[in-house]
Amino acid sequence: MREKGATKTVMRLAAHAALCAVAMLPLSGCRMFDAPLRRGGLWVNPDSPAARQVRERQDEGKNRDAALIRQIAQQPVAEWLGPAPPRERVRFITESAARTGSTPVLVAYHIPYRDCGRYSAGGARSAHAYRRWIEQITLGIGDRKAIVVLEPDAVAQLVDGCVPARQRTARLAMLRDAVAMFAALPHVRVYVDAGNPGWIKNPYRLVRSLREGGIEQADGFALNVSNFQPTRRTKAYGHRLSAALDGTHFVIDTSRNGNGPLRLRGAARHGIRARDSWCNPPGRALGKRPSTSTGDSLVDAYLWIKRPGESDGTCNGGPPAGHWWTEYALGLARNAPRRH
Is 306 part of any known ligand binding site?
yes
Whole-number Cα distances in Å, 202 to 12, 88, 278: 33, 40, 19
CB distance 237 to 222 below 8 Å: no
CA-based radius of gyration for the chain: 19
Tell me how far apart the terminal alpha carbons of the chain are, to the nearest angstrom: 44
CB distance 182 to 226 below 8 Å: no
115 in catalytic set: yes
Q: 3-state class of 79 per DSSP?
A: strand
34 in catalytic set: no
Q: Half-sphere exposure of residue 193, counting CA atoms within 13 Å on the CB side?
A: 30
Question: Residue 316 and residue 276: Cα distance in Å, rounded?
Answer: 8
- DSSP 8-state code for residue 235: H
String of b and e for 228-253 (b: at least 16 CB within 10 Å)?
bbbbebbbebbeebbeebebbbbbbb
Exactly one of 65, 115, 253, 300 is catalytic; name it. Answer: 115
**Can you state the angle between helices 49-59 and 63-73, rounded to 10 degrees?**
160
Exactly one of 177, 219, 300, 312 is catalytic; name it. Answer: 312
177 in catalytic set: no
Is 80 part of any known ligand binding site?
yes
Provide φ and ψ at 131, rounded to 5°.
Answer: -65, -40
Is 324 part of any known ligand binding site?
no
Residue 213 one-letter amino acid: G
Is 199 part of any known ligand binding site?
yes
Is 325 part of any known ligand binding site?
no
Is 288 part of any known ligand binding site?
no
Exactly one of 153, 219, 253, 300 is catalytic; name it. Answer: 153
Question: Residue 215 and residue 203: Cα distance in Å, rounded?
Answer: 14
Q: Which of 178, 223, 164 is nearest to 199 (CA)?
A: 223
Provide φ and ψ at 299, rounded to 5°.
Answer: -95, 110
Whole-number Cα distances in Å, 301 to 21, 304, 312: 26, 10, 23
Active site residues per annotation:
115, 153, 312
Binding residues: 80, 199, 227, 278, 306, 310
Binding residues for substrate: 80, 199, 227, 278, 306, 310
